Structure 1
Amino acid sequence: MRVALNTLGKKAIRAKSSAYIPEKESKMTTIHTNPGALVAQATLRNVTSQLDTVSKQVQTGFKVADAKDDASTFSVAQGLRADVKSLGAVQQGLNGAVGLAEVGLAGATAVSNLFEDIQAKLTQLADSSITATQRTTYNADLQALANQAKDLVSQASFNGTNVLDNTTAVNFIADVNGGTISVTGVNVFTSASVFAASVGALTDAQARQFLNSSSNTLDNFVTATNNALSGIAADLRAVESQNSFVSAISDATEKGLGALVDADLAKASSKLQALQAQQQLSTQAITIANQAPSVLLSLFG
């Protein structure tokens, strides 16, 4: 029994030793193909491509500078840029409305400030005890004040438009959808002209008529001026509110645009340095791989 086992063991050992053991495939030495150089070149191409992308971000400040970078994002960004331009045009129009209203309001305020002096002169002229010389002087002063008020009204013009000499509503673009907002004129010039024509040589009785409202010329002038102050001020508040709203929309749109296309320059700068180092290493790897075929020369030395 022991002899039989020994015999079987020896046969197993011989079978195992005679089994085929594959040898490792040896690399062929050739001057036509350089696998190491091919791998190094592929790595260099990949690194160079990434380096070009990051360099473009650093140079332009955009992670999406054109459709080549990201067609869909660039398309959305172009639409947002158009919106920002349109909002800028709206703001420009609204700024014109603000200017027109402010000039009209300034003119009406300046005229309103003259009424105190006008009423003071009328009170002096209503005094029957003053001398003829004093009356002449006071009448001249009153006429000068009336003419000054009329001139202030006529000078309250902005970009060729005067909201104090007509009752026309001047419309301005208010939003990107074509909505409008208006500044409505109040005709102060007509009543100012009538009042200026009605003074100049007032007697004490005539002066009292202006003071006790028996003469409507001054009252009409004051009423028109007060209407201008309230109406134009209301329009100005509405325009300024709309302008602030459009400005807020424009700022929000620009922020959204920036989030889509702006590059993170701190991150890009760090990546740029890393890729530059990788590029240098890849170049060195190609140089080393290119030296491998030269070893064959030693075989023929």
Structure 2
Amino acid sequence: MADVIPLQPVGAPTVLRTDDHARDSAGFTYVYPVISRRAGGVSIGINLNPNNACNWACVYCQVPDLQRGGPPPINLAQLEDELRAMLTQIVHGDFMQTRVPENARRINDVAFSGNGEPTMSPEFGAALVVVERQLASFGLLGQIKLVVISNGSQMYKPEVLQVVEHIGRINGELWFKIDRAPQDGFSAVNQVQLKRDAVARHLVAASARCATWIQTCMFAVDGQLPDEAELAAYVQFVGQLKQQAPGLHGVLLYGLARPSLQPMAPRLSAADADWMQALAARIATQGLEVKLSV
């Protein structure tokens, strides 16, 4: 174990909030606790991109100083020490009483999320082994969810799909980002080149190995919500994916809960709750379960 890692990560008892997912709230490099509005409890984040680098640059992203690129090498011993310390605080310490609102005092999941695309890390598989080992040591393996939040861009790589399959065997889920129906060309929302067939192939391959949810963020730009053509294309696309991918469980539909930290932030605004509910009902007509967070 690395001897520079504090075993007591929690300092002043600042209560966690759903609108603040700061990655340094525990004073660690790789591990951070948040209150997830979608999960309804404490989510322990694993950040394999502490350099704030990602291969996408979504306009609504809340990562500060986001840059293009991949993750740095991961110190796996440090990751394990941090996770052990965090779980000790949650399971055996007073973390829930001092840091978590009363209505969210449950540990829901461990999530590979962080400040970039986690599946780009060469240590993704080794980091999963670390997480699995620590969950087992605290009696949590199979009792709580293991989540990977991904843009799906690396799901053509055999080594990544192998890790995804492992996640599926240990009560894991993949949250696969599709914000709009992909067209062959540039995505204005994700600021990246996308190919429709590639997105579909990646999702089908991943969902065959692990329970998969589509994750979609909807919002207005300059006061204008997605128009009917965009919505129809999106609903049609996710409906086609449902037919192609039996492992696709549904859609996690959400709006802007925290402000973007990207250049387009002043132009973005949240969608009305009634509009979001109507879209959720429309998606459900495709045979997909929809979990809505507004």
Whether these two folds match at TM > 0.5 is no
Higher helix share goes to which structure? 1
Greater RCO, CA 8 A, separation 6+: 1
Which has the larger share of strand?
2
Aligning the two structures, in what range does the TM-score lie when normalised by the shorter sequence? under 0.3
Name the TM-score, length of structure 1 as normaliser.
0.19
Q: Which has the larger radius of gyration?
A: 1
